[in-house]
């Protein structure tokens, strides 16, 4: 086997060119991403939003919002627009995207996609971004307000 290939644990080989990273599964990726910040529980998110200390951002797609409802006073931003809408330096930012110090709580359906979204927001400099443990479903199970 040439020096440009290496054997991986499943017995296959792949090119080990410059910049190539070993494959990682989604569970390991989520663990790695979440290790970089403190996630927030539903009750804490509710209290922070009520106190004006956090902006709740719902990234669930429309069908889920229509089926399950919305958290009151939550900003709805589709996942594919999130970075453009929350970047305080961006030309397509929302009025709420006032600072890199903004505390954003990203909410997806069950708390998985939101973790990956937070990683992206951190890369934009929104260092206080976090996500809701268990997502919208945990919020609803905690019997917090839904409309």
Provide CB contacts within 8 A for 29, sequence distance 6+: 116
Query: What pTM value is reported for the model?
Result: 0.84
Q: What residues pair up with 40 in beta bridges, in sequence order?
A: 132
Tell me the CATH number of domain 30-141, given options 2.60.40.10, 3.40.250.10, 3.20.20.140, 3.40.190.10: 3.40.250.10
CA distance 5 to 124: 34
Tokens of 92: 């397509």
pLDDT tens for the chain, 147 residues: list them.
Answer: 444 444 444 444 445 456 788 898 999 999 999 999 999 999 999 999 999 999 999 999 999 999 999 999 999 999 999 999 999 999 999 999 999 999 999 999 999 999 999 999 999 999 999 999 999 999 999 999 999
């Amino acid at each position: 086997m040439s020096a440009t290939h290496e054997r991986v644990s499943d017995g296959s080989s792949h090119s080990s060119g410059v910049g190539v990273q070993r494959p990682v599964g989604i569970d390991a990726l989520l663990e790695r991403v979440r290790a970089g910040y403190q996630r927030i529980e539903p009750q804490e998110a509710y209290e922070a939003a009520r106190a004006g200390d956090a902006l709740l951002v719902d990234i669930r797609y429309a069908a889920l919002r229509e089926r399950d409802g919305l958290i009151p006073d939550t900003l709805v931003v589709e996942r594919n627009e999130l970075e453009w809408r929350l970047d305080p330096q961006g030309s397509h930012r929302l009025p709420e995207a006032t600072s890199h110090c903004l505390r954003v709580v990203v909410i997806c359906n069950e708390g998985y996609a939101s973790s990956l979204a937070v990683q992206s927001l951190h890369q934009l400099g929104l260092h206080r971004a976090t996500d809701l443990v268990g997502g919208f479903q945990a919020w609803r199970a905690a019997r917090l307000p839904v409309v």
